[in-house]
Amino acid sequence: MKITIVGTGYVGLVTGTCFAEMGIQVTCVDIDKKKLAMLQDGNIPIHEPGLSDLLVRNIAAKRIAFSSNLADSLGESDMVFIAVGTPPNEDGSADLSHVIAVAREIGEKLKSYVVVVDKSTVPVGTADMVSLEISKQLKKRSMKIPFDVVSNPEFLKEGAAIKDFMSPDRIIIGASNDKVRSKMAELYAPFSRKHDKIQFMGVRDAEMTKYAANGMLATKISFMNEIAVLCEKYGVDVENVRKGIGSDPRIGYSFMYPGAGYGGSCFPKDIRALVSMASAEGIEPYIFKAVEARNQEQKLLLMEKITGHLGEDLSAKKIAVWGLAFKPETDDVREASALVMIRALLVRGASISAFDPEAIQTAKLELGDLADEVDFVEEMYSVLEEADVLLVMTEWKQFRQPDFRLIAGKLKSKLIFDGRNIYAPSVVHKHGLGYVGVGRTSFSTIDEGE
């Protein structure tokens, strides 16, 4: 089987590489020729564990190639995947211009039957729009070439995308007829050998499933964060509450960790898209709006705690920051809570030094001119030099068991602000450090821990 992947961003690159690993002949198409040359040499522009080695192996085996010419690969492909970006518009709705542009080009260059697969996260009804655009272009050419449009949303976690793709929990396929269902089942057979993971449903059902999944996960995070705010007011340790409710199998432990809010390219965008989709149909999206509002407030929750300990004027203070990426095992800083905090701290005059094992360069690009005001350091303990406090914003493994004695010896105010609740306060206190977490107000000072 031969397939074409249009778009070599996060989803397209992981999808193409993993299909190639299973012996499928893959051509990845993009308009960025400089990026294509880099990929053909085995270099990837993102940090995703295991992806680089997998890509290099499949390039050497000639199972994956890169091209800027869709027409060439389209004529030889059984399927073409649309995996381009769908950034949010100002009103929160998904920008489908790149998706429709690909559909237009498919219609302009299609010569024989093909299955068009929507892999990008797109609102309900997008497959119909793709089908309409292809048909429109075929009509202009006075051509009657059959094709099918399928919805096959991705469920990849950044930092674990290879594992998620190769050993999926489920494979959602929205298809309209048995012919295309059979083709998709053949494509995904290597990923579903132990038991049938494929779930066939209607095209619109599949489109909504992706949004519903991310909406539920974001809701769990915001729910737990709101519980954490309550815990602080009532003198309750939210970690005990989390463990207590997580032990209920109906609730579970996943996505129930309180902290400084979620970020990344999916949850924020998809929640806003759900708000937009509901509003467009005259439905008041009470839950989705609340999820978004809590998340925005949560990102600045630690600012109140920092100013509560150091004062409103931070011009004479230096804050050391561990973690810039929105989550560990990625260099993605889109809507990262760390950058929200850094911007707010700079406004208050603070000096900032920051460390992240992977995301320094992407953070610099995201911050723009503000990056010149941050001292980015390449070693996690060097960032503590002359710092008043430590702010932990990403739960990288190397931060989980740090040298607390070394930290205590460097921090002037001997305080750790833990935006991800990764430390046990009692352990921190043993080394003469104060601890401030999320939903853990009883551990806010050194004296209270002694």
Spatial CB neighbours of 84, under 8 Å, sequence gap ≥ 6? 6, 7, 9, 12, 98, 99, 101, 102, 120
User: β-pairing, 2-6 with 198-201?
Assistant: unpaired
Q: Which listed residue (18, 28, 231, 266) is catalytic?
A: 266
* Alpha carbon separation from 356 to 55, 252, 361, 375, 440 (Å, rounded): 25, 30, 10, 12, 25
Chain centroid to CA 15: how far? 15
Average confidence score pLDDT of the chain:
94
pLDDT tens column, 140-180: 999 999 999 999 999 999 999 999 999 999 999 999 999 99
- How sure is the predictor about 441, in pLDDT bands with cuts at 50, 70 and 90? low
pLDDT over threshold 70, residue 373: yes
pLDDT over threshold 50, residue 139: yes
Q: What is the dihedral of CA 123, 125, 130, 134, to 10 degrees?
A: -170
pLDDT tens column, 302-358: 999 999 999 999 999 999 999 999 999 999 999 999 999 999 999 999 999 999 999
Which residue type does 23 have?
G
pLDDT tens column, 172-226: 999 999 999 999 999 999 998 877 899 999 999 999 999 999 999 999 999 999 9
pLDDT over threshold 80, residue 263: yes
Distance CA 377, CA 372 (A): 13
Does residue 266 have an active-site annotation?
A: yes
Taking only Cα atoms into account, the Rg of the chain, rounded to an integer number of angstroms, comes to 24
pLDDT value of residue 448: 41
pLDDT value of residue 194: 75
| Planar angle of CA 76, 77, 83, nearest 5 degrees | 135
pLDDT over threshold 90, residue 265: no
